[in-house]
Amino acid sequence: MRIGELARLADVTTRTLRHYDELGLLTGRRGANGYRVYDDADLRTVREIRMLVGLGFALEDTRPFVECLRAGHERAASCPDSLAVLRRRIAEVDDSVDRLHEVRGELTRQLGEASRARCEFSGIDP
Amino acid sequence: MRIGELARLADVTTRTLRHYDELGLLTGRRGANGYRVYDDADLRTVREIRMLVGLGFALEDTRPFVECLRAGHERAASCPDSLAVLRRRIAEVDDSVDRLHEVRGELTRQLGEASRARCEFSGIDP
DNA sequence: GCTGGCGTTCACGTCGGCGTCAAGGTCTAC
DNA sequence: GTAGACCTTGACGCCGACGTGAACGCCAGC
């Protein structure tokens, strides 16, 4: 299939697929006329990339998964490099959640103090 | 005081202060020589901005707080607009935490499936 | 043969929050 | 009077993941 059809099937734009090509992430074959030619494996790969991006991975971090698929593995995450990136991402998410909890605490503290200040100003007892 | 001293006291760069000036966020007075002139209130404002940025606010979202201080209020968060932005940010944080929990669940699911796949491949019983 | 719908490459624009020059003006100390 | 430590504006660079448009090639159907 050509780039337009793959884009429709994978629900991305052709620009996105060309971008992946530029990055060497999804380097399809070329037809005699210079057109990019893709197959079902490429569709599978794009879907994998989009799933990972949806989980917060940078495109560069999806590379091990893509290569794992290209190596013939059923599951893109089953290669050592993929697993390492996966675990790293989990650690990042945990850190983010921790930081957000701290931030949330500080935000509510600020909200409470500001509300009290407004009540005093209005002469309202909290 | 001039821009360099304020930068030192607030632990930011002069570029940062000029950037705030460009945004109209911290428009100081000008001396006879064209130099920016700041006072203690400006220092307080910069510290407020940096604190808010540390809590994930965009610079534009700090504007209500800055204006609240300029209006003479003790607490930058005690004005209606500040409170609205504050509450909105709390909601954003809650959404982010929820999304990160979902992401974390999906990540561990992927990790589990990939590990099982590797064990089957190695002939190791999980 | 020509229109329309595909495809191609090149290359700049977007968003935020500055960093990092460059080219110059100002003020102080020696 | 001159070094150097401050200040000014202007303008491009950076990061990531594309959007957007220009200018062109290819091919099917009428």
Amino acid at B49: I
Domains of chain A: which residue ranges? 3-122
What digits encode the pLDDT tens for the residues B18-65? 999 999 999 989 999 999 999 999 999 999 999 999 999 999 999 999
Place of tokens 């632990």: B11
Other Cβ atoms closer than 10 A to A39: 12
Q: Residue A107: which residues within 8 A CB-CB, separation 6 or more?
A: B55, B86, B89, B90, B93
Q: Name all protein residues with C-beta less than 7 A from any atom of nucleic acid chain D.
A: A 12-13, 15-16, 19, 32-34, 53, 58-60; B 2-5, 14, 18, 34-36
A89 close to A106: Cβ distance less than 8 angstroms:
no
Q: Which two tokens stand for residue B52?
A: 């808010």
Q: What pLDDT, on the 0 to 100 scale, is given for residue B123?
A: 46
Q: Which residues of A touch B (CB under 8 A)?
A: 55-56, 73-75, 77-78, 82-83, 86-87, 89-90, 93-94, 96-97, 100-101, 103-104, 106-108, 110-111, 113-115, 117-118, 121
> Side chain identity at B16, as an amino acid letter?
T
Neighbours of B36 (CB within 10 A): 20
**Average pLDDT, stretch A64-91?**
96
Checking if the pLDDT of B17 tops 60, the result is yes
* A39–chain B nearest CA distance, Å: 24
Is the pLDDT score of B102 beyond 50? yes
Fold annotation for A3-122: Multidrug-efflux Transporter Regulator; Chain: A; Domain 2 (1.10.1660)
Quote the distance between the C-alpha of residue B41 and its chain's center. Answer: 20
**Ramachandran region of residue B35, left (φ > 0), alpha (ψ -120 to 50) or beta?**
beta
The length of chain B in residues reads 126
Longest Cα–Cα distance of chain B, Å, equals: 81
